[in-house]
Structure 1
Amino acid sequence: MGAEQDTQLDCYHCGLPVPSGTRYSAVVLDEPRAMCCQGCQAVAEAIVANGLEDYYRYRTELPQNVEDLVPDELRELMLYDHPEVQKSFVSQAPGDYKEASLILEGITCAACIWLNERHLKQLQGIQQVSINYTTHRARIIWDENQIKLSDILIEIRKLGYHAHPFSAQQQEALRLKQRKADFRRLAVAGLSAGQVMMIAVALYAGPSQGLEFATAQLLRWFSLVLSVPAMFYAAWPFYQAAWRGVKSGRLGMDVPISLGLITGFAGSIWATYLGAGEVYYDTLTMLIFFLLSTRYLERNAREKSIESAENLLRLVPAVATRLNAEQQLELIPLMELKVGDLIVAKPGETIAADGIVQQGESSADESLLTGESHPLIKTVGSTVYAGSINYESPLTIKVSAVGEHTVIAGVSRLLDRAQAEKPRLTELADKIAAYFTYVLLLAVALVGWVWWQVDTSRVLEIVLTILVVSCPCALSLAAPAAFAASGSYLVKRGVLLTRGHALEALAKVTHVVFDKTGTLTEGRPVLQETRAFASISAAECLQIAASLEQHSEHPYARSFQEALKAASMAHYALDEAGNQPGKGVMGQVNGKQYYLGNLKLNPAISEIPSMAEVEDCATVVWLSDDTQYLAAFVMADTLRPNAQALVQALKDKGLVVSILSGDTESTVADYARRLGISSWQASASPEQKLEMIEQLQQRGEVIAMVGDGVNDAPVLAKAQVSIAMGSGTQMARASGDIVLLGEQLLEINHAIETSRFTRNVIRENFAWALGYNMLALPFAATGMLAPWMAAIGMSVSSLIVVLNALRLR
């Protein structure tokens, strides 16, 4: 905006005199205004650009101090650019991008979602926008170097919506506020409909009971007055949604509803004024009441379907008990917590952040995160998660992640991503509903014209009936209601859908491919057997071995420590500990030298004890002293519980099951034999795994890939549907369409069953919605349905779809 000379002596923004020779100006309220300095010019331009010109239009005096120079609304939005303010709801995305979690107020329909997403995606610096219709929660990723968060919030405000940082408690408060508003509208519509219906009884019975014209006319005027609250208050959300749809060029189901209401009400007013013709106040108020009732029930059902996901973040406490530098406990807001702080979780309290136990021993309930119903033991060194509940004893925890960086927040982001992405069936239903709306409006015009030629007195009745009876509400709800209900059900069982298409693709799977290590097996060696050869008992040999390994980080060391703990034995004192990489460890226990490792560790002993063969998948660790071998420890990765049951259940469904592993041929063959899997491939590199999946897909197979490691991430991304183990790497979880939060492998089989059941429910919903509309439309067009019948039929149709979907819960 160029600077222009202005004859006005005072700055339009701050009121101070404009220095001579100054040429700063800004266009405010469509006129160029003089500014005293570049600062006032910049602020004025920001106020205009952000749609806050009302600041100038309605101000009654010039600002008296510096704080008054910037409107409160603009200052409040600019606060969201401050790093400390962003800490609780903004996370760092790859590169220079940031990701914010926001709540949008004012969302009433799918068109609102479309409008906001379309507008924001056009802004420079916005990488991704996804808004969840069910939760009204927005995930926005932007480049901080190109656009500020405050600018994004202002753009949302320009559309007539309000966005603010996400808070589970605040979202619940907004949801409660919306529920109360919906109930008020429903109550007003119910009262209006009840009163108008009583008057309608008299009007319907009047001709046969000798009702005088003057009395009938008075009753019509009473009906008009009683209909006004329902028409102008209760039905207002329909008009708002319809108008937004018209402005955006996306006609939704609210357009025919609003047309029907407005047409019917206008025609009834005209008939009342003339004292002749039919009035439809009873039908209109009843329609509004039934529509609001159905939507109220549908909203409640939708909110119930996501309560499992919402409970995740809602259970994280707002405050934490921190151990300060003076070793004193202090209660602080959660947003003040930092990585490295020490916090204390008392018995019965919810853990406030992710961390590592530094002191104490207890158990924690992580059921909301993992679906695991039993409390898990937590000792020094154990990892704990925000949102889990500490049970028996106090725990001192060193914080490793807070806010948006916790595991629970990551799970919530995956849930949002899944709910924001529309499955193909949902997109198909939306397209059909959109086309149906256009076809319906065309049919209304055509049928109206025909009836105008046949019987002008029935035109209004027929048009109103068609608009009401054929509203595609049930069609639009057919798929989303089912997907939401099934997704909620699976989350409760520890199965997290992270992609919108996951459930739909899972129902079509023909071939399930497993990685072995960490998927079908535990992914770590476990002590299977101790074979003693000398006079020392097996228990004492274990005690010596665990003592030698007590300072080691090797995976075998953990197995020895777990076995020692299970046997309720203690370590011996260890002196002169040492290790030889690739061979083993050694040291003095009770003054005697011992060796623990492979046969290369102690080559001075030539005589190796004979022992029975071990399984191909097992490894032998030898314990010896200076003269002889004392014991052999058989170590092997173990199958996960229910791995065999899962494989058999998948086979019973007619699915092909394969193993695709990078492990040795003998090891993979052994596990495949024990699981009853005939199709397997060993020593496969990530590239070979990817090539094999592509070959299967070229043969027409629909692949479900189950994996947990970094090398599984490319294959997980390539498969039609991928299942990542919750205990796997972050890269694998990010690539997975489904994340198994717990360790219950049988939930994979249950997820497939649920996906197939969901597909059947959606087909039933589609059949009912399309069948109802196709059947009702001819009856309405030929005048065989009364408007009140249409109102009941349309509402019941939507209700049936929602209730059928809730069977999935």
Structure 2
Amino acid sequence: MKETNCYHCGLPNDDDKCYETVVLGATRQMCCPGCQAVAEAIVNNGLEDYYQFRTEPAQKSDDSILDTLDRLKVYDDPTLQDEFVYDEGQHKQIQLTLEGITCAACGWLIEKQLAKVNGIQQVAVNVQERRALVTWSESKIKLSQILSTLKRIGYSGSPFHPDEHEASYKREEKVFIKKLGLAGIMTMQVMMLMTGLYFDWFGAIELETRQYFYWVALTLTTPVVLYSGSTFYVGAAKALSARTVNMDVPVTIAIFGTYIAGIRSTLLEQGEVYFESICMFIFLLLLSRFLEHRSRHRAAQISANMMQYIPVSATKLLPDGSMSECLAKQLKPNDVVVIKPGATIPVDGLVEEGSASVDESMLTGEFDPVVKHAKSTVYGGTICRDGTLTVTVTHTLKNALVNQIMRLQASAMASKPKAAQLADEFSRYFVSAVLLIALLTYSYWTYNGNADAFWITISVLVATCPCALGLATPSALTCAMAKLNKQGILLKRADALEQITTINTVALDKTGTLTQGKFNIKQDWYADTVDSTKAWEIAVALESRSEHPIANAFSGNVLHRVSQFSVTPGGGISGEINGANFTMGSAAFCEISPESLPISANVYLATDGKLVAAFQVSDSLRKDAKTTLDALAVHHDLVVLSGDTQQNVNELTASLPVSMAMGGLTPEQKFEEVRLLQSRNKKVMMMGDGINDAPVLASADVAIAVGNATDVAKTAADVILLGDQLLSVPLLIETAHKAKTKIRQNIGWSVLYNLIILPFAVSGLLSPWMAVVGMSLSSIIVVTNSTRLLSK
């Protein structure tokens, strides 16, 4: 007999043509040659278990798959590969966007298949992000062969582009909204109808009218059960086929047990129906999953903005001395570019001529500009504040440091472990026990000739229905997330709350995380013969003409006119005020000797070689940093990992409860330090805000993006602080522990309720309507307990 739907993709088969493949010992029918070719490739490679583990049908394969495979050869063109393939010495590496992934089994299939291919060194598939990081040996295999291997098993791979991921999440979101919207609308209708019947709000109505209402409720409930709840059934079926159970299994049993009982009652015109409980249960669970999906979608939107840090254009110096504009990605090593004041440095390179202060804060997280001169290294994406530089290109844009950091982040995220839900583990045993008890109950009463054996069994299934267990975790997490959102704390994934409770080490970046990221005057000194007020006014007037970040520390009303103003990159500024020449900047620039000063100054004001005033300008701690660290230090080890100098780090952390403070670290060194801590069985929470923090954020057990963090840091983080308060972190940890406690209480109550209600249900003393009331009451208690998180 011919099957009606394709075994591979689930679409209708062709009635006129037959495409068959033997899968799992049986002949399976396919809808087209493409699906047949994909299925054969999976079988021939010994990966048939994919069909057992998958929770969604695969996407329809390309009918002209052979032509498509031929077209993939274009990716072997070295010129084209320059755009997206990275050279890792003996190996090549690429990030791929994967099309056709529908569930975790797809990620398993891709990793297993590619791992068997000779020449592929490493494969890391991120199912949620629909991304793969592939490393291969070019001498053994070509990129087109890797993409062809993917295509033969039903997946399309293409170079990663953030916008494609955003579009993919939007497609998923539409499906969620349809299912959730249908469940919500139908739940309201069924609840109003059935509540009126239960509480006799319609008065004394005839049996025919009551049955009519039952049929209406059944009609409204059926699409909710068959469409909105389909997510749970497919997951439960595949879990059982893999000889395990997950949270979808008790959910499915609860829904279909109650639904079938309602249909039977409606058809036989006897007993009660419980359609409103079904609709409500499906709606609440879908709502929880939808909220988690939205957080991932928001992360994808942030990811789409990462490309703003990549320079677009450059001014190229031609051999004849003329200059022309070109795309930054077209620059090659040994090309020469000119960077003017205020311009973005297009690529990594070596300074040949000129001197300037370069703002590398978007790369290093440090706001203090770095002076660049001949033979200094500059990095793509950083900003030339003043002066003009002539730079020889050393790396293409693809291999610029900012791109390397983003790739390191992707690698760390691909290997990040996922936390398992406590309720999932417990339900494996709970569901098995309930099923066994229901079976024994039905057998016992049938053997004894009880005509109500079916209803008694339904009462057992309904009364012990794991609705409360199913709501135990998502209700607590939803309330915890809502509370945190009110406090300006955004969770990108709900299971981060559980991981937070295991944290014993907190690592922090310095600038922008512990500090304000803004310069201010810590100390000042004025010469004895100088009017301090007038000296300050002169300093404000001079700095008002400067674009250096330090100038922000000298805020005030400009009361003097500055003429003959000039900027000396790496030195300072000078100008004429009221007929006198003033210089302001470093000691060498001002030509003075500051050894005898009572303060440790770094900005000086002088006139004609005479010192007028001196200022200690520095970045300062956040107002709540000390309080926050004192609170965290009670139960956590504190570590500072910074790119700033060790001296500055030591000075800043001297009064803080920090067990270890390390300065002068590159992004890779921060990454390695966190890995080293983890190798010592430490659970690390990392807090940072800059692009340089992205790799270490991604490698940490829990990552927090602080304050006005860069989009790259937000992408790598699990938690984003939308406000600028570090005190949000102790609140986050406290809420995580409370949520874990609530989850345990909810699960404990669910088990206790079932232990109490089960004897009444098994003995036949509990009718189905009583069972559904008890089930609903159990769920209400769990939800009410979870909502207490909002008020504490």
Instruction: Tell me what 2:764 maps to.
Output: 783
Whether 1:291 and 2:288 are equivalent positions in the alignment is no
1:576-587 maps to which residues of 2 (within 5 A)?
577=568, 584-585=571-572
Whether 1:471 and 2:459 are equivalent positions in the alignment is no
Indicate conservation of the 8 Å contact 2:519/2:620, yes or no. Answer: yes
Cα distance change on mapping 1:800 and 1:639 into 2, 3 Å: same
Indicate conservation of the 8 Å contact 1:430/1:476, yes or no. Answer: no
CA drift of 1:637 comes to 2.7
Whether 1:124 and 2:114 are equivalent positions in the alignment is yes
CA drift of 1:432 comes to 1.5
Distance 1:688 1:74 in 2: 47
**Which of 533, 546, 549 is 1:558 aligned to?**
549
Whether 1:539 and 2:536 are equivalent positions in the alignment is yes
TM-score by length of 1: 0.57
Counterpart amino acid of 1:766? Answer: I
Indicate conservation of the 8 Å contact 1:245/1:252, yes or no. Answer: yes
Distance 1:591 1:308 in 2: 60
Counterpart amino acid of 1:122? Answer: K
SS of 2:626's partner is: helix
SS of 1:124's partner is: helix
Greater Cα radius of gyration, structure 1 or 2: 1
CA drift of 1:786 comes to 1.7
Distance 1:501 1:268 in 2: 35
Counterpart amino acid of 1:49? Answer: A
CA drift of 1:801 comes to 4.0
Counterpart amino acid of 2:626? Answer: Q
Counterpart amino acid of 1:128? Answer: A
Counterpart amino acid of 1:751? Answer: L
**Which of 586, 592, 599 is 1:597 aligned to?**
586
Instruction: Tell me what 1:440 maps to.
Output: 434
Whether 1:429 and 2:423 are equivalent positions in the alignment is yes
Indicate conservation of the 8 Å contact 2:639/2:661, yes or no. Answer: no
Cα distance change on mapping 1:148 and 1:667 into 2, 3 Å: closer
CA drift of 1:762 comes to 1.8
Indicate conservation of the 8 Å contact 1:709/1:728, yes or no. Answer: yes
1:456-535 maps to which residues of 2 (within 5 A)?
456-487=450-481, 490=484, 493=487, 495=489, 497=491, 502-509=496-503, 512=506, 514=508, 516-522=510-516, 525-533=519-527
Cα distance change on mapping 1:220 and 1:620 into 2, 3 Å: closer
Counterpart amino acid of 1:475? Answer: L
1:215-226 maps to which residues of 2 (within 5 A)?
none
CA drift of 1:778 comes to 2.7
Cα distance change on mapping 1:138 and 1:300 into 2, 3 Å: same
1:369-768 maps to which residues of 2 (within 5 A)?
422-424=418-420, 426=421, 428-487=422-481, 490=484, 493=487, 495=489, 497=491, 502-509=496-503, 512=506, 514=508, 516-522=510-516, 525-533=519-527, 537-539=534-536, 541-542=538-539, 546=543, 550=546, 557-559=548-550, 561-563=551-553, 566-568=556-558, 572-574=563-565, 577=568, 584-585=571-572, 589=576, 592=581, 594=583, 596-598=585-587, 602=591, 611=597, 613-614=598-599, 618-650=600-632, 671-672=652-653, 675=655, 677=656, 704=685, 706=687, 721=702, 723=704, 725=706, 738=719, 740=721, 743-768=724-749
Distance 1:264 1:586 in 2: 80
- Deviation per CA, 1:87-138: give whole Å up to 9, x if none: 9xx9889965555667989x8xxxxx44444444433269334445xxxx74
Cα distance change on mapping 1:122 and 1:281 into 2, 3 Å: farther
Cα distance change on mapping 1:489 and 1:74 into 2, 3 Å: farther
Distance 1:740 1:623 in 2: 39
**Which of 297, 300, 308 is 2:287 aligned to?**
300
1:36-115 maps to which residues of 2 (within 5 A)?
46=34, 48-50=36-38, 71=63, 98-99=94-95, 113-115=103-105
- Deviation per CA, 1:399-445: give whole Å up to 9, x if none: x99xxx99xx99x9999989x96434x1x321221232223222223
Cα distance change on mapping 1:789 and 1:201 into 2, 3 Å: same
Distance 2:106 2:478 in 1: 22
Cα distance change on mapping 1:486 and 1:781 into 2, 3 Å: same
Whether 1:793 and 2:766 are equivalent positions in the alignment is no
1:176-191 maps to which residues of 2 (within 5 A)?
178-181=176-179, 184=182
Counterpart amino acid of 1:298? Answer: L
Could you tell me which runs of 5 or more consecutive residues in structure 1 were left unpaired when the two chains were aligned: 1-25, 32-43, 54-69, 108-112, 159-163, 325-337, 342-354, 358-382, 385-399, 552-556
TM-score by length of 2: 0.58
Counterpart amino acid of 2:765? Answer: M
Cα distance change on mapping 1:796 and 1:662 into 2, 3 Å: same
1:243-254 maps to which residues of 2 (within 5 A)?
243-252=237-246
Counterpart amino acid of 2:612? Answer: L
Counterpart amino acid of 1:474? Answer: A
SS of 1:634's partner is: strand
CA drift of 1:290 comes to 1.5
Distance 1:636 1:290 in 2: 62
SS of 2:623's partner is: coil
Distance 1:182 1:768 in 2: 28
Whether 1:770 and 2:751 are equivalent positions in the alignment is yes
Distance 1:121 1:81 in 2: 22
Cα distance change on mapping 1:439 and 1:99 into 2, 3 Å: farther
The number of residues matched between the two structures is 629
CA drift of 1:300 comes to 2.9
- Deviation per CA, 1:167-195: give whole Å up to 9, x if none: 75785576456544555577779989999
Indicate conservation of the 8 Å contact 2:540/2:556, yes or no. Answer: no
CA drift of 1:143 comes to 6.4
- Deviation per CA, 1:27-53: give whole Å up to 9, x if none: 96579xxxxxxxxxxxx9656314699
SS of 1:573's partner is: strand
Distance 1:644 1:482 in 2: 31
Indicate conservation of the 8 Å contact 1:99/1:142, yes or no. Answer: yes
- Deviation per CA, 1:574-601: give whole Å up to 9, x if none: 469576xxxx457675795847423697
Indicate conservation of the 8 Å contact 1:267/1:460, yes or no. Answer: no
Distance 1:448 1:646 in 2: 59
Distance 1:258 1:739 in 2: 35
Indicate conservation of the 8 Å contact 2:239/2:245, yes or no. Answer: yes
Distance 2:472 2:433 in 1: 19
SS of 1:526's partner is: strand
Cα distance change on mapping 1:234 and 1:445 into 2, 3 Å: closer
Distance 1:272 1:574 in 2: 90
Indicate conservation of the 8 Å contact 1:451/1:459, yes or no. Answer: yes
Percent of aligned pairs sharing the same letter = 23
Distance 1:526 1:312 in 2: 34
